[in-house]
Amino acid sequence: MPRRQKSKLRASEKRRQARGEAQGESVQATAAVEEESVSSTSSQSEDTTQSLPQAGSSSTSQGRRRAQATTITSTAVSCTRSDEASNSQDEDRANPCEGAYYTESAGEDPLTRKPSLLEQFILYKYKMKQPIMKEDMLKIVGPNYQDRFPEILKKASERIEIVFAVDLKEIDSTKQSYDLISKLKLPNNGRVRAGRGLPKTGLLMNILGMIFMKGNCAAEEDIWKFLGKMRVYPGRKHFIYGEPRKLITKDLVRLQYLEYRQVANSDPPRYEFLWGPKAQAETSKMKVLDFLAKVNDSIPSAFPSYYEEALQDQEEKVQTRAMVRASTIAKVIVPSRAMPQNIFPPLVKSVFCNPSDKKM
């Protein structure tokens, strides 16, 4: 064999080995991030459960709900860093995370595994801003389980909802395409910042819930203590939320979803959080309580003290809207009066009146 051809073969072999090592490192990195994401999601779910008073729901059902939450987004979230790091690289190059969406664990119950696979697929499509097509989801479910597709899709969407506060909705019935819609009108459909990424709505809904449960005003130290149980720390970049302090005290305040103010007469200065005008307009205490209750596999009325306050808030908003509507109608309707005699202007009179009538 010519020397030149041998050198080409050796170079090709070295490239293959390098690719193999890189893929191995990528798999290890993915596994490490998956472990972090799973524990973070678990902490988020468990901490929300601890925030609400126990009311009727069994520890078994809550444990099952938390266990479901721990499986959410493990692969989709783990790809966030990988995709961000490779944005400058060739888009045609294979992404090591993509293959994970089609891997299954042997021996696992199919009706447990299939919703998990579908979650990962849906979140990946959302993060990449790609359409979520029903035909693609059916491929993920597989031909043997297509008759159970509605049930599997329902489980997957519910488990995404309790972490990210987004709803899976059909946006085009003709094409049978879906999208994840944020429960609040945050920019970029919940991503807050421009570009790709996962929704920040779940974090905001948890903060709004914490403020609600702290008497509608929560000290900053209480908020960070709460978020610390979700492994969200000020000054430390989070793989979903970026730098949390900037997101919470700057971005969400600028967008008017949170109010961040200094506690009166505090020395040294301390700060507290309240609901901002946008949060007041786009959601309610009942909706936030409903979100927290779903995390606990329960219903809002199972938490009586918060439920009563949420009901009162709901009634007050209904009354306010009714008063505004009545005021608007009153301004539009003109009170009925006697018809004035000189109703026609001179020009109109000249059209309808016969000049010969004046001479007579």
137 and 123 in a common domain: yes
Residue 94 CA: distances (Å) to CA of 23, 82, 91, 105? 10, 12, 8, 23
Residue 67 is assigned to a structural domain of this protein: no
Supply the pLDDT for residue 39: 41
CATH code of the domain containing 163: 1.10.10.1200
Residue 45 is assigned to a structural domain of this protein: no
Tell me which amino acid residue 155 is: K
Residue 61 is assigned to a structural domain of this protein: no
Supply the pLDDT for residue 12: 62
199 and 277 in a common domain: yes
Q: Kindly report the backbone phi and psi dihedral angles of residue 343, in degrees, each rounded to the nearest multiple of 5, phi listed first.
A: -80, -30
Supply the pLDDT for residue 339: 54
Residue 308 is assigned to a structural domain of this protein: yes
CATH code of the domain containing 249: 1.10.10.1210
Residue 228 CA: distances (Å) to CA of 39, 195, 234, 325, 343? 12, 27, 9, 44, 74
141 and 118 in a common domain: yes
- Looking from the CA of 196 toward its CB, the CA atoms found within 13 Å total 20
Residue 77 is assigned to a structural domain of this protein: no
Residue 195 is assigned to a structural domain of this protein: yes
174 and 131 in a common domain: yes
> Quick check: 42 and 70 in contact, CB under 8 A?
yes
- Domain termination site, one of 225, 258, 283: 283
Virtual CA dihedral for 84, 89, 90, 96, nearest 10 degrees? -60
321 and 263 in a common domain: no
297 and 252 in a common domain: no
Q: Kindly report the backbone phi and psi dihedral angles of residue 79, in degrees, each rounded to the nearest multiple of 5, phi listed first.
A: -80, -15
Supply the pLDDT for residue 86: 42
Residue 89 is assigned to a structural domain of this protein: no
- Domain with 198, as residue range(s), is 191-283
- The number of folded domains in the chain is 3
Residue 301 CA: distances (Å) to CA of 1, 13, 53, 55, 60? 81, 65, 12, 9, 20
Helix axes 59-70 and 149-164, enclosed angle (nearest 10): 90
Q: pLDDT tens per residue, the chain (360 residues)?
A: 565 555 656 666 655 555 444 344 333 333 333 343 344 444 444 444 445 654 444 444 444 444 444 434 444 444 444 444 444 343 333 333 333 334 455 556 778 889 999 999 999 999 999 999 999 999 999 999 999 999 999 999 999 999 999 999 999 999 999 999 999 999 999 999 888 999 999 999 999 999 999 999 999 999 999 999 989 999 999 989 999 999 999 999 999 999 999 999 999 999 999 999 999 999 999 999 999 999 888 999 999 999 999 999 999 988 888 888 888 887 777 555 555 555 555 544 454 555 555 454
171 and 147 in a common domain: yes
Q: Kindly report the backbone phi and psi dihedral angles of residue 174, in degrees, each rounded to the nearest multiple of 5, phi listed first.
A: -70, -50
- Domain termination site, one of 257, 283, 309: 283
What is the pTM for the complete model shown?
Answer: 0.69
162 and 132 in a common domain: yes
Task: Retrieve residue 255's tokens.
Answer: 């967008």
> Quick check: 211 and 192 in contact, CB under 8 A?
no
CA gyration radius for the chain? 29
291 and 273 in a common domain: no
Helices (H), 183-303: 201-213, 220-228, 244-246, 252-254, 277-282, 285-295
SS3 call for 226: helix
296 and 313 in a common domain: yes
277 and 195 in a common domain: yes
Q: What is the C-alpha to C-alpha distance for residues 287 and 298, in angstroms, rounded to an integer? A: 14
Task: Retrieve residue 275's tokens.
Answer: 């609901």
- Domain termination site, one of 126, 148, 182: 182
263 and 239 in a common domain: yes
Residue 338 is assigned to a structural domain of this protein: no
> Quick check: 244 and 238 in contact, CB under 8 A?
yes
